[in-house]
Structure formats: structure tokens, C-alpha cells
Chains A and B, each alone.
Chain A
Amino acid sequence: SQKIEQNSEALNIQEGKTATLTCNYTNYSPAYLQWYRQDPGRGPVFLLLIRENEKEKRKERLKVTFDTTLKQSLFHITASQPADSATYLCALDTMSGNTPLVFGKGTRLSVIA
């Protein structure tokens, strides 16, 4: 069966450290993978998109990697700040026409000052 898994429900990290979140998938062949941030009581907000032929994408303190052999994406936040505390969702886009994005359950990140 098709699955998309984010390895931990919650992750606590000290301010200033690098947070690394994992997204694994099985039985999908995504053309794209996206990461979203969701704050409590709000809708998810897009952060980054990475294509299957890209190994790495960066945006400010954020970095995403995409390994189609391992079927895994890693999401890094460097120099983490308490304001980075939120739930982070990965989503697959299989680029097969009328297929919507499939989301993981998310990882709740808490950055402790």
C-alpha cells in the first residue's frame, strides 16, 4: 500500500541547533515533494518544493533534500529559533494528472530557548 510517513510526531530541540525532520514514502513515484508549515489553528503554509531531479533546495535557513533511491526527504532548519516552533508537513505530488497532494501526518517541532 502507499504510505507517507514522517518519522516522529514531536521533536524538541534547543535554540540555535539544527532541526532535521524526515519524510519517507513507499509505493509512490513523486515528481515533486513539498514541505508546509502549520501553526495551531491555522491552515498550512507552503515553504519549499523540490523536484525529483533535484538533490537539494535551500531557502534562507531552510534546506530540503530529496533522495528518490531511499524514498526520503530531509527538512533542515539551521540556527533554529523559538519562532520556528510549529508542525511541519511533507506532501507528495505524483504528477499523474488529477491526483491531489498527499500529506504526511506532520512533525510538531518545539524549539526551546
Chain B
Amino acid sequence: GAGVSQSPSNKVTEKGKDVELRCDPISGHTALYWYRQSLGQGLEFLIYFQGNSAPDKSGLPSDRFSAERTGGSVSTLTIQRTQQEDSAVYLCASSLGDSGNTIYFGEGSWLTVV
């Protein structure tokens, strides 16, 4: 597609439920990033995929969070047993992968845990 596509754009879920957030990066981009942004806060790095390398999971806040990237393209971020503090915008971005390249963000998935 022309840009990074994320779905759903909005999700309201009950505490304790699992959620899956999807990211479709720009075609040809080898690097894919997930960030989280809480209301009025900066971007918090979660996980980074680059080509066939092992993902950098150093930003995942707990073992309830996981992500995978299938076929080097679409990525899914899964949050198990959601908590209210998980409420945030989850932003996906992609880039050509080489350092110094612009990263392109999607519009985010707004997650509210009630």
C-alpha cells in the first residue's frame, strides 16, 4: 500500500481479555517497529524487526506482550490479559532498514481497556 496501515484504528476491550493489533508496512520495507504512546507522553519503543534477524524485544514491558512478523511483511502485536495501564496508542512504523532512513508511521491503534 501507499502507507503503513494499522488495524483496528480503535479498540475497546475488557480488562483480562487478549487483543491483537495488526500492522501492514510499506511494501519493500525490511524494518518494522512498534511503539506505544500513552496520553500526553512520548514514544515508548516496544519491538523492532529487521529483515531475517532476531527481533529486538528489549522494549516489551512484560511477558503479556508479544509480536510476530510473518513472511517479512505483516506484523501482529498481541497483548494478553490486558490491564488498564495498557491503554495507549500503539504505533507501527516501517523503513527501508538501513540506518539513516526515514521511518514512516501508521496512524496508530487506539486501545482502551475498561
Contact = CB atoms under 8 A, between A and B. Distances in A.
B100 A44 contact: no
Interface in A88-113: 89, 93-96, 98-106
Interface size class on chain B is 20 to 34
A101 B41 CA distance: 16
Interface residues on chain A, size class? 20 to 34
Contacts of A98: 48, 50, 53, 56
B79 interface: no
B96 interface: no
A43 B105 contact: yes
B56 A99 contact: yes
Given A31-B99, A44-B105, A100 B42 contact: no
**Which secondary structure dominates chain A's binding surface?**
loop
A46 B42 contact: no
Interface in B7-65: 33, 35, 41-43, 45, 48, 50, 53, 56
12 contacts: A42-B107, A43-B106, A44-B105, A46-B102, A89-B42, A98-B48, A100-B33, A102-B45, A103-B35, A103-B42, A103-B43, A104-B42
Interface of A: 31-32, 34, 41-46, 49, 51, 89, 93-96, 98-106
